[in-house]
Amino acid sequence: MNLLKNKVFTTILITDIIQQAAIWIRNISIMFFMMDVTNGDPMAVSSLNFIEMVPMFLFTFLGGIIADKYNPKRLMLLGDSLSFISFVILGSLINKGYIIAIFITVLISAIVTQFSYPASQKYFKEFVEDKDIDSAIGMSQLLSSIFPIIGPFLGSYFYFTFGIGKTLLIISFMFLASIILIYTLPNKKFEKIESAGLIEDIKLTFDYLNKKRILKVFARMFLLISFAIGIAGNLDIFLVTQRLGLNEEFYQFFSGIAGVGVIVGGGAYILLSKYLKNIKIVYSLIGVFSITVFIEGYSTIPLLTMVLQFIDNVIGGILSGYVMTLMTKQTEQEYLGRINGFTSTLMYFGIMISSILSGLIMKHYSIVAAFSIASLIFLICFVMLYIECKRGLFDDDKVLESNYINKIDENFE
């Protein structure tokens, strides 16, 4: 495959895999650590997720703007370097009993990621041909989705074998490996949008978004879906331990089943991307999401719950590939960082608010109520896309064709 001969693509892909592995190990080991020191308090887990989401919400849009204005390679190097340093320091402080340091380091790591990720996407947009974008995004998701399977196993293994301190030091050296790979990327001068400052950059972003109605629709979809995922996904471990009555160590197998679903979904997207231009398929899959999440919250049968998790993640893998491909194709390179930053901000906002809300719902009501609310949000998203389709925003066979979408945009201006 020509993509595998593309050095920039393979380098970005490998660094993304290393970073995702490090983040998964971090998330799982810290989750177990927090549950140990708080005796399994759901508010402690949801609060940690909330703290991680706050900087993502505050800095992702800014990170996208900066990625469009400054050297992407330097931003990626800076981001991974700060992550490396922060985890080295955290590993040392945790061993000395400074538990509060874990929140500070997670905060730092979450902030710097918001600057490095959109920078890497600019290399992706510049060095991958348009005809290969579908396959490139599908392949990236397929390889990255292995971590929902092995991530819980790795995180559990490192935490229970080495403890939180040594595990965090191992994570830091994974970021060091990523830094070395980023150095091999070619130096490239990217086209930039000249502006008078941050306020004008923000105005230019919203002006561009207003001209791309299809991007506006998908941005709203991002917000709704992330809110639903934040409520349900944040409570997975309690779904295992309380609703299903299983040991917390079973969580890694539960996550593994979900990870297999993501892999199948990513593979399905690669094989079927040419046939997924019908928007009815997209909102139909979201409608299925609404049903499966609702049943998942009520189920007390482990096998049924795991099957539903598998189905959810197959659908998620397909939808993710579809939306990422569409947004990459429909956004010019000089706007790609800020548009990715804006949509990611919406996503983090939804997850941030719903993460803390999920803990409150579960504490004062039940996990069934939380999953029912998530199901309702998916249903609202389904209705929204259905209405947009009936209004003529999407064409069944041309939704991914740039010229057609531009004509649609003109009709709405």
Of all residues in the chain, the percent with pLDDT exceeding 90 is 1
Average pLDDT estimate for 297-316: 85
* pLDDT given at position 114: 67
Higher pLDDT, 288 or 200: 288
pTM recorded for the entire structure: 0.63
Domains in the chain: ranges and CATH: 2-183+199-412 (1.20.1250.20)
Residue 241, pLDDT above cutoff 70:
yes
* pLDDT given at position 8: 82
Residue 143, pLDDT above cutoff 50:
yes
Higher pLDDT, 406 or 14: 14
pLDDT tens readout for residues 334-373: 777 677 777 777 877 787 788 778 778 877 888 888 888 8
pLDDT band at 141 (very low <50, low <70, confident <90, very high): low
* pLDDT given at position 191: 60
pLDDT tens readout for residues 363-403: 788 888 888 888 899 899 888 888 887 776 665 444 444 44
Residue whose tokens read 């993640």: 313
* pLDDT given at position 397: 43
Q: Which of 120-134, 174-188, 309-323 has the lowest mean pLDDT?
A: 120-134
Residue 411, pLDDT above cutoff 60:
no
pLDDT band at 45 (very low <50, low <70, confident <90, very high): low
